[in-house]
Amino acid sequence: MQDFNALITGGSRGLGRAIAREFRGKGANLALVARNREALDALAAELQSVGAGDIEVIAADLSDPEAPAAIVDQLQGKWGRLDALVNNAAVGGPIGRVWENGWREWRETLQVNLLAPVALCRLSIPWMRRGGSIVNLSGGGATGPRPNFSAYATAKAGLVRFTETLAQEVADLGIRVNAISPGIMATEMLEAVLRAGPQQAGEDYQRMTEVKRNGGQPPERAAALAWYLASPASQGITGRLISAIWDPWPELAKHVDELNESDIYTLRRITPEDRGKQWK
């Protein structure tokens, strides 16, 4: 897709790299953000051979509250508008019981995983054209408790609710906002759980051991969903948390009316009545 400008955070490795490759394969101009400039430059050199179009590289640390404004300021000097924002950058955060976690690391996890994406959304929306799209990457703990990963789970749950809320706020601007549950992939976050060991990681340790043995979910599946949600193919789909692995997202365009008339793919509170109980 020519003349399509996309900003992707956490773009130097893992899922971010897969998303960058997917978007580049579709002809998008890319702005890739990560802390490691050398890794970004290497990926940009690889992607330059895929096709024509602009690739901007921005080295930034999203644990710095000033980073989102600096990123957008730099990019606005290059591009006249933004078509898609993909908030992929994340850190796993401290592992273990919350009162044993380092408080600085706990707060930094919220900064990177929640506050930085919110800031980038706030700064990007006035610059985003009608028909633009925001894609936020969710993760384990967003839809249910994840003991020993309280900072990560809290940030990701907050990001999903923010996604749902923002989608309603920008509906009249013609901007869509969705979140992706990418599945468990064989990334550095998985390795961090294994290094922490079963005493700190709890039940997640055995689960991640099994995932590593099986190779994990392919990042290309989540990357394809990110492009689908960023592109006009998903017109009308907004305010949803969609699983790259389990949900039939390639067919969702056929169900837009049903989707928008329901609470499917959203967070909600379960009542006794939902479980066939009458407690009143």
CATH of the domain at 150: 3.40.50.720
* DSSP-assigned states of every residue in 23-54: HHHTT-EEEEEES-HHHHHHHHHHHHTT-SS-
CA atoms of 129 and 47, how far apart (whole Å) = 25
Calpha distance 176→68 (Å, rounded): 20
Query: Is 10 inside a domain boundary?
Result: yes
Three-state DSSP class for residue 171: helix
To which residue do tokens 């900064």 refer?
111
274: Cβ–Cβ under 8 A, 6 or more apart, which residues? none
Task: Quick: pLDDT tens for 178-231.
Answer: 999 999 998 889 999 999 999 999 999 999 999 999 999 999 999 999 999 999
Burial group, residue 229, by CB count within 10 angstroms (0-12, 13-18, 19+): buried
Residue in 152, 205, 228, 265 annotated catalytic: 152
pLDDT 10s digits, 132-173: 999 999 998 999 999 999 999 999 999 999 999 999 999 999
For tokens 């773009």, the residue is: 11
Rounded to whole angstroms, the Cα distance separating 43 from 68 reads 21
Q: Total domain count for the chain?
A: 1
Domain assignment of residue 47, yes or no: yes
Question: Domain for residue 274, yes or no?
Answer: no
Is 196 inside a domain boundary?
no
pLDDT score recorded for residue 1: 65
Decide if 18 is inside a domain: yes
120's enclosing H/E stretch is helix 116-124
Residue 152 among the catalytic residues? yes
**Domain range enclosing 43:** 5-181+218-268
Does 276 reside within a domain? Answer: no
Nearest 5°: phi and psi at 264?
A: -60, 140
Report if residue 129 sits inside a domain.
Answer: yes
- Distance of alpha carbon 208 from the chain centroid: 20
188 falls within a domain: no
